[in-house]
Amino acid sequence: MKAWICKAFGEEAVLTDWADPVPGPDQVAIDVQSCGVNFADTLILIGKYQKRPDGPFSPGFEVSGTVRSIGANVKGINLGDRVMALPDWGGFAEQVVANAATVIPLPETVGYDQAAAFQIAYGTSWFGLKYRADVQSGDLVLVHGAAGGVGLTAVECAKLLGATVIATAGGADKCQIARDHGADYTIDYKIENIRDRVREIAASLGKPAGVDVVYDPVGGDVFDQSLRCVAPGARILLIGFASGTVPQIPANILLVKNVTVIGFYFGAYLEQNPDIARQGMGELLDLLATGKITPMISATYRLSEAMIALEAIRNRTATGKLVINMR
pLDDT digits (tens, 9 = 90+) for 14-53: 999 999 999 999 999 999 999 999 999 999 999 999 889 9
| Cβ burial, residue 300 (10 Å; 0-12/13-18/19+) | middle
CB within 8 Å of 2: residues ≥ 6 apart: 15, 16, 17, 18, 93, 94, 303
Quick one: 114 and 212 in the same domain?
no
Domain boundary among 267, 286, 312: 267
Would you say residue 258 lies in a domain?
Answer: yes
Nearest of 214, 169, 222, 155 to residue 195 by alpha carbon: 222
Element (H, E) at 220: helix 220-227
Quick one: 201 and 135 in the same domain?
yes
Torsion sign across C-alpha atoms 170, 172, 176, 179 = positive
Q: For position 327, what pLDDT does the model report?
A: 79
Quick one: 155 and 43 in the same domain?
no
DSSP three-state, residue 306: helix
| Cβ burial, residue 165 (10 Å; 0-12/13-18/19+) | buried
Would you say residue 77 lies in a domain?
Answer: yes
Quick one: 258 and 137 in the same domain?
yes
Quick one: 12 and 110 in the same domain?
yes
Quick one: 254 and 139 in the same domain?
yes
* CB distance 81 to 33 below 8 Å: no
Would you say residue 272 lies in a domain?
Answer: no
* CB distance 16 to 3 below 8 Å: yes
CA distance 124 to 154: 8
Would you say residue 63 lies in a domain?
Answer: yes
Domain boundary among 267, 283, 310: 267
Quick one: 178 and 304 in the same domain?
no
Would you say residue 237 lies in a domain?
Answer: yes
pLDDT, average across residues 307-316: 92
Asked if pLDDT for residue 320 goes beyond 90, the answer is no
Instruction: Supply the CATH number for residue 134's domain.
Output: 3.90.180.10
Task: Quote the percentage of the chain above a pLDDT of 90.
Answer: 85
Would you say residue 140 lies in a domain?
Answer: yes
pLDDT tens per residue across span 233-278: 999 999 999 888 999 999 999 999 999 999 999 988 988 998 898 8
Give the CA angle between residues 273, 30, 96 to the nearest 5°: 80
CB within 8 Å of 275: residues ≥ 6 apart: none
Asked if pLDDT for residue 59 goes beyond 90, the answer is yes
Q: For position 232, what pLDDT does the model report?
A: 97
Give the CA angle between residues 231, 235, 236 to the nearest 5°: 105
Quick one: 139 and 154 in the same domain?
yes
The mean pLDDT value of the chain amounts to: 95
Quick one: 99 and 129 in the same domain?
no
Report the number of distinct structural domains present in the chain.
Answer: 2
Quick one: 197 and 252 in the same domain?
yes
Nearest of 125, 12, 23 to residue 72 by alpha carbon: 23
Q: For position 274, what pLDDT does the model report?
A: 86
Asked if pLDDT for residue 317 goes beyond 90, the answer is no
Q: At what angle do helices 194-204 and 220-227 cross, to 10 degrees?
A: 40
Q: Between the CA of residue 170 and those of 22, 194, 218, what are the distances in Å?
A: 44, 11, 12
pLDDT tens per residue across span 108-157: 889 999 999 999 999 999 999 999 999 999 999 999 999 888 999 999 99
pTM confidence score: 0.87
Quick one: 88 and 219 in the same domain?
no
DSSP three-state, residue 319: coil
* Domain hosting residue 259, numbered range: 121-267
Domain boundary among 247, 267, 287: 267
Would you say residue 290 lies in a domain?
Answer: no
Quick one: 109 and 133 in the same domain?
no
Would you say residue 194 lies in a domain?
Answer: yes
CA distance 90 to 102: 14
